[in-house]
A and B are shown apart, each in its own frame.
Chain A
Amino acid sequence: MASKSVSSLPSPEDIYQSILPNGITVLARANFNSPAVNISGYLSGGSIFETDEKLGLAGFVSSMLMRGTQRYTFDSIYNELETVGASLGFDSGVHNASFGGRSLVEDLPRLLNLLAESLFHPTFPKAEVERLRTQILTGLALREQDTSNMADMLFERHLYPDHPYGKPTDGYVETIQSITRKDLAAFHRFNYGPRGMVIGIVGAIQPKKAVEAVAKALGGWSVSGQKEPPALPPLKPFRKMIRKHHRIEGKSQSDLVVGTLGPYRKNPDFMAVSLANSVLGQFGMMGRIGHVVRERSGLAYYAYSSLNAGTGPGSWEVSAGVNPKNLNKALELIDVELRGFVKSGVTKQELVDSQANYIGRLPLSFESNGGMVSAILNIHRYQLGMDYYQRYEGLVRSVTRDDVVEAARRYINPDRMVIATAGP
């Protein structure tokens, strides 16, 4: 059936890039298919700035930004947004604070104005600090009961010992209780700022106009003494099998994570590892792991592998949720599968299948403004080149079976994995 549409892949010709005098990078691409616009971006202010005594501070700050500013109260900020069906939110990870929002295009100036106001002038009102603290503590109490969250947390703690990646970005009860209003204001004062900030805009607006709108709202921001984020500390490699269990009584399902370190996103072997992961625990009904644990043995509703690659050393992990009495059986099946995987690699057919999947699914990830804006931010963040999606098919096809098995062996040593489980 002949297609009538043009290619939707982003390219250097249609991604408009501009750096404002204060250092903010703006990336814009037009999409006039619906009268809406999506913004997303990141800036300095991640948990990498935290001390161990104040874990959760970065997340606390990002969640406070819209809870009161010089010109708006918590309620009036959200009233501005919700009245026009717009949304805006902040979050934070290890390296950065991040934000995302959307609105009808007619309300973009309003959205950008609230973004600027929240970033420039948060006032951390005392009552709101306490209200949010209660909400965070309730979230931590729920986390404590969540087998999946607790297995993940345990896994990260042992994969990244004494490293920012091994610490929960939402903190612990004691650290959240110790955070003061002063801590929040100081963290914002010195760690937030325009240097290093990137904002992407995709929607029903000409890219140049989008940049003008951002410049109007955010171009005047300057922060004296904005701190440089500290470098990531070196990672202590683990030299033996580590197995840890977190007990949560009264649960009908246990969660498991088996994994190891993975590549940085910018590593040249990233695509080979990514395709290896697809065969291992993604392709079709969750790859080989899904086939063995779910399809053949009926042990789990979900069983898959995932690759997390970003600015620093990534992780490559297998996850599943199983009946507590089947926990060891599932771990054995995963172990056998990993051993076979590093020994024999992938078949020609498996590689070709995953390559075809990667190439074929590309337009699907650009279906919405949200998908497009995150794709553009990613290629910028990891310096993959604005022509990355034009070159993408070639990059995928150039990976060989040898590349895949070598990549798997480089990262996975079945005798040296971190196994974290949570449940009864």
Chain B
Amino acid sequence: MSKSITQVTLKNGMKVMLKEIHTAPIISSWIWYKVGSRDEPTGKTGISHWTEHMMFKGTKKFPNGVLDKAISREGGRWNASTSRDSTRYYETMPAAKIDLALRLEADRMTKSIFEPKEVASERTVIISEREGSENEPMFQLSESMLHASFRVHPYQHEIIGDMADLHSITREDLYSHYQTYYIPNNAVLSLAGDFDTKVMIKRVRELFEKIPAGNVPPRLSRPEPERKGEVRLTVEGPGETVFTQVAYPFPNATHEDYFPLQVLESLLNGASGLSYKTCRLYRALVDKGVVVDISGWSESTIDPFLYRFVMIHRPNTKPEQAIQILDAEIQKLQDTPAPAAEIHRAVKQARAVFAYGSENITNQAFWMGYTSMISDYSFYTSYLDNLAKVTPKDVQRVAQKYFQPNKRVVGSYIPTGRAS
């Protein structure tokens, strides 16, 4: 895995990250804005995601309907997504056509129109997107879990936003959000693929350096106070299947406990991107016939977020027995240091997942930008080394520190029966 990348900062403060890869005639370009659902005050939830949708509605130079066709015509693949901490847009193009993507992103950083008619039509599209999610029991449960887990911090709502706000947000709200956050000194451009770095930097300067810098607003961050006592909740809805989620507060990605917790996650729930049938919880809960499935994961976030377990229960069983077994497995990690062999295994798994990821140019551009949102590129390049440094004692210590029953939220989806 090549670790060498070039990083430059333009005069207007925009950061550019470049990695030459000549394995295929492809270039992937990602632009990242440091704004996500966590920057949304009450009453404006979902505005970052809606703004992301509006970025596809055209500028004067690339009007609606021209923009998408222009990229597709050149064989490009493009999309965007909004997370809790950032909003990102990407184009992966045949190498000879990348200029179109760069011109488009430079243009729509400041010149998206937000036509009122388009805002109105996109309002119903996003409401429809939310209604599609509401069809899913897991979405219903997750939304309630977030609200219960964060009383103060803006991670408390789903990225898509609350229905009330999707009805009330105005065109002016959206445009103001866009003007506030879509400025070069709040953006990172990450490029990977078949280019010459010097030539690429020159072209990026031509297109982006003239865009004036703005005032970067501080991130909305209201630290979540420590919870005093477990919270239990239920959500009811159609269906026959019971789901349970258990959520523990989890530190941010740059916290010193992050890597021991990644190893712990591997032990309990398996490595991200691989099957997880020999992790401790699968063996204890699925192999023993207590639940149909158990999964668990953390997210790499700027502020402390959550470690969440999800269990799908067998028909006609109650969640309590499964929760007790989950607790017992966590207890084992708290009482005894994990065998060193299990930690070596976690490191080997991560090495394989990194190798699979490096096959793909789009992925490599993604990781450069992603790490720059939460830390810097060294987060990626030193990831495996940091994982290898974790000791059995570290894993035991973080298990004790973070998995405390009186800090968690436990929620179940209780089906009201098959109503069809």
Contact = CB atoms under 8 A, between A and B. Distances in A.
Interface of A: 1-5, 7-8, 31, 33-36, 74-75, 78-79, 81-87, 89, 102-104, 131, 134-135, 137-138, 141-142, 144-147, 246-253, 283-285, 291, 294-302, 321-323, 353, 356-364, 366-369
A138 B415 CA distance: 13
Contacts of B228: none
Given A249-B419, A367-B361, A368-B360, A141 B278 contact: no
A137 B161 CA distance: 34
Interface string B233-254: 0000111110000000000000
A84 B25 contact: no
30 contacts: A1-B203, A2-B196, A3-B25, A5-B24, A74-B287, A84-B352, A87-B274, A137-B315, A141-B241, A142-B239, A145-B239, A249-B419, A251-B135, A252-B132, A253-B131, A253-B132, A294-B125, A296-B121, A298-B121, A299-B125, A300-B125, A301-B126, A301-B129, A323-B128, A356-B74, A360-B93, A364-B75, A364-B77, A366-B24, A367-B24
B149 interface: no
Contacts of A369: 359
B73 interface: yes
A361 B75 contact: yes
B134 interface: yes
Given A4-B194, A367-B362, A82 B121 contact: no
Interface centre among A3, A5, A103, A357 (most CB of B within 10 A): A3
Contacts of B73: 353, 356-357, 360
Interface of chain B: mostly helix, strand, loop or mixed: mixed
A227 B98 CA distance: 52
Interface in B238-290: 238-241, 270-271, 274-279, 283, 286-287, 289
Given A36-B355, A86-B352, A141-B240, A298 B195 contact: no
Interface residues of B, number: 87
A301 B194 contact: no
A104 B355 contact: yes
Contacts of A296: 121
Contacts of B68: 284-285
A86 B270 CA distance: 12
B215 interface: no
Interface stretch (B219-227, B330-338, B343-351): B343-351
Interface of B: 1, 22-26, 56, 64-65, 68-69, 71-77, 92-99, 120-129, 131-132, 134-135, 137, 194-196, 199-200, 203, 237-241, 270-271, 274-279, 283, 286-287, 289, 292-293, 312, 314-315, 345, 348-353, 355-356, 358-362, 416, 418-420
Nearest to A248: B420
Nearest to A251: B135
A20 B20 CA distance: 40
B360 A367 contact: yes
Contacts of A285: 56, 68
A33 B23 contact: yes
Contacts of B132: 252-253, 301-302, 321
A253 B128 contact: yes
Ordered nearest first, which 10 A-B pairs have the shortest CB separation? Answer: A360-B75, A85-B352, A249-B419, A298-B121, A298-B124, A250-B238, A301-B129, A284-B68, A361-B75, A78-B277
